[in-house]
Structure 1
Amino acid sequence: MLTDMTHAQAAALWSGLMILLLVVLGARVAMARRGNRVVLGDGGNAQVLLASRVFGNAAEYIPAGIGALAVLAMLGMPAYVLHILGAALFFGRLIHAVTLSDTRPTVGRVIGMSLTWLSLLLAGLMLIVHAFVGSAHG
């Protein structure tokens, strides 16, 4: 199924999954605020602060990844490349979000950030190379 996707479909899949992740993380902030009767900000509540940072951290990286996937798809980057980049970013953000809930340093946070940075670094380099070289697949 994934192997039959066009480059645009691959970018759409991973972008959609990352948007859904943002919605889930945003809902967790809303539930934490409601449960702790916090109207604005974190109200000095550790649970609300943590939920807000988990969401905020994802929101800091996901838009750049979605933008990179979209431009790479428009440039005709092969679907398998978009799947690799999209999966690395999505799972990096997911792993980081899950493990950030533990306030101690964890290997999951390192893995999550490493996947995130690696996917964004590769996407950025591919975009720059394409700007100077031309065709992404030929």
Structure 2
Amino acid sequence: MFATMTSLQAAALYCGLLILVMLGLKMYVGAQRGRLKVEPGDVGNIEFGRATRVQLNAVEDVPPLMVGILLLGLLNLPAYAIHITGGLLTVSRILHAVGLAGSGGFSIGRALGTLGTLLTYLAVAGGLIIHAFVN
């Protein structure tokens, strides 16, 4: 199934998966708000602050990278390149969220998630710049 996907289909797959990751993070924050009985606008709860950071860190990174992955698909990069970048970003954002949700300090999930996200930024940016000039 993956082997027969076009680059645009692969980009659509990872955009869809990342939207589900974002939905999961939104639900996590809502559940934490209810569990901790935090009112809207309350910024004094440290545990809830960490929960919102989990979501907001993804909000910073996922949308621009989704656009980049979609553009790579439109530029007809090989589908395997889309699978690598999209898969890396998806796994990285899940690792980061789990790591940060579990600990406000260092965690291996958070570190690997951050590293994977940074590598995805470099790969997507490089691919876009190179393929802007190459057909």
Q: TM-score, normalised by structure 1?
A: 0.91
What are the within-5 Å matches in structure 2 for residues 58-97 of structure 1? 58-97=58-97
Q: Which aligned pairs between 1:1-138 and structure 2 lie closer than 5 A?
A: 1-101=1-101, 102-131=103-132, 133-135=133-135
1:115 maps to amino acid: G
Q: CA deviation at 1:9?
A: 1.1
Q: Secondary structure at the match of 1:20?
A: helix
Cα RMSD, aligned residues only = 1.2
Give the paired residue count.
134
Q: Which moved more, 1:40-49 or 1:68-77?
A: 40-49
Unaligned runs of 5+ in 1: none
TM-score of the pair, normalised by structure 2:
0.93
The separation in 1 between residues aligned to 2:118 and 2:34, in whole angstroms, is: 33
Distance 1:88 1:36, change over 3 A: same
Mapped partners of 1:56, 1:108: distance in 2:
17
CA–CA separation in structure 2 for the residues paired with 1:25 and 1:64: 17
| Percent of matched pairs sharing the same residue | 38
User: How many angstroms does 1:106 deviate by?
Assistant: 1.7
Point out 4+ residue stretches in structure 1 off by more than 3 angstroms. Answer: none
* Partner Cα separation in structure 1 for residue 79 and residue 42 of structure 2: 41
CA distance in 2, matches of 1:115, 1:43: 30
